[in-house]
Amino acid sequence: MTASDIRNIIKTVVEAHVTHNNWYSIWSVAKDRESELTYPAVIWGQWTGRLDENPGEISGALYLNQLCRLLIITDVGTNRTPEQRDQAVEDANNAATDIILSLRATYAERIGNVVISTQFDGYGALETGVLLSFTFKSDALCLDGDEFNPPEDCPTFAELIALLEWAGIKADMSVGQIADATADLCTGGGPCEDATVLINGTEIDTIVSGGSLDIPVLQDGSPVGSLVGSEWIVPPCGGDCPYDGIIQINGVPVDTFGPFDPCDNNTLTININ
């Protein structure tokens, strides 16, 4: 990303604004300024650049930190009142905030050091508004092409990240990029590890990344139990445990036996003498 790219990005955002969208590039009033401006106007001013290393990065790459200035103004007229001045400044401040928010929506990690200061009664038309200044960080810079002989080509992306640990790579990624990487790696086919299935601490199976496993829980051949919180609860098999049986002869109760557990197979032996 060059200084020209940065200017064009900001210009596109300004020209999309609903009110303060008349873009001008004026560095010299005598040479650059039109005789009449269309207001509200946003004027691209002189910028200052600084080449910085990225903290913690071991590749040695340099980044252009460009201090950008936008003069956001309107014409309040020579007979303006303090209230008209205040309104013009506040409208310009709102537009400055809109511009920064729009830039940060796409370039959140690149925009910083935002300062807004009031401007009033400037030039001959009593131009009033705010001066917006902020830094815009470029991509890593390197020698490329025929600037020197022999030319030195930029390293590939793979060569750059090969010098970094994951923590350094993640620190330079946006929230959206991390979400995209996670979805790509861990949604059916990424190098995510298989899951291990345990029942009461005993390993019984594994599930491949993105897969599923259905474990039937049966009692006497029929599905049984239900999910209670995070646990699958299987109810007792019915009746009070243990219980006593009743001995009947010709339909008449004559004795009891037991106790027996209804969940176990029980044998009763009756000797008739």
CATH number at residue 48: 3.30.70.1700
Q: Do 71 and 108 touch, CB atoms closer than 8 A? A: no
Q: Do 192 and 207 touch, CB atoms closer than 8 A? A: no
Same structural domain, 135 and 235 = no
- Burial of residue 129 (number of CB atoms within 10 Å: 0-12, 13-18, 19+): buried
Residue 23: band (very low, low, confident or very high) from pLDDT cuts 50, 70, 90: very high
pTM for the full model? Answer: 0.53
Same structural domain, 124 and 238 = no
Residue 48 lies in a domain: yes
pLDDT digits 0-9 by tens, 90-107: 999 999 999 999 999 999
CA–CA gap between residue 51 and residue 64 (Å, rounded): 5
Among 123, 141, 159, identify where a domain stops.
Answer: 141
Answer yes or no: is pLDDT of 266 > 60. Answer: yes
Which two tokens mark 259?
A: 């106790």
Please give the helix or strand (H or E) that residue 243 lies within, else none.
strand 243-249
Same structural domain, 135 and 244 = no
Residue 24 lies in a domain: yes
| Dihedral angle sign, alpha carbons of residues 134, 140, 145, 149 | positive
Residue 223 lies in a domain: yes
CA angle 220, 226, 230 (to 5 degrees): 135
The three-state secondary structure class of 17 is coil
Q: What is the dihedral of CA 118, 127, 44, 109, to 10 degrees?
A: 30
* Tally of domains in the chain: 2
Same structural domain, 9 and 119 = yes
Residue 272 lies in a domain: no
Percent of the chain surpassing pLDDT 90: 27
Task: Give the pLDDT of residue 93.
Answer: 96
Task: Give the pLDDT of residue 44.
Answer: 94
CA–CA gap between residue 21 and residue 95 (Å, rounded): 9
Query: For the ranges 7-16, 81-90, 166-175, 244-253, which has the lowest average pLDDT?
Result: 244-253
Among 87, 114, 141, identify where a domain stops.
Answer: 141
The three-state secondary structure class of 5 is helix
Across 56-148, where does the E strand assignment appear? 62-75, 111-122, 127-141
Residue 239: band (very low, low, confident or very high) from pLDDT cuts 50, 70, 90: low
Same structural domain, 10 and 114 = yes
Residue 26 lies in a domain: yes
Task: Give the pLDDT of residue 204.
Answer: 82
Residue 134 lies in a domain: yes
Range of the domain at 255: 217-263
Among 141, 165, 191, identify where a domain stops.
Answer: 141
CA distances (Å), origin 216, targets 33, 71, 93, 181, 225: 80, 70, 65, 35, 10
Residue 115 lies in a domain: yes
Same structural domain, 236 and 136 = no
Q: Which of 123, 157, 149 is nearest to 43 (CA)?
A: 123
Q: Which of 102, 70, 95 is nearest to 20 (CA)?
A: 95
Residue 47: band (very low, low, confident or very high) from pLDDT cuts 50, 70, 90: very high
Same structural domain, 254 and 130 = no
Residue 172 lies in a domain: no
Same structural domain, 124 and 221 = no
Which is higher by pLDDT, 60 or 63?
A: 63
Same structural domain, 228 and 130 = no
Same structural domain, 105 and 231 = no
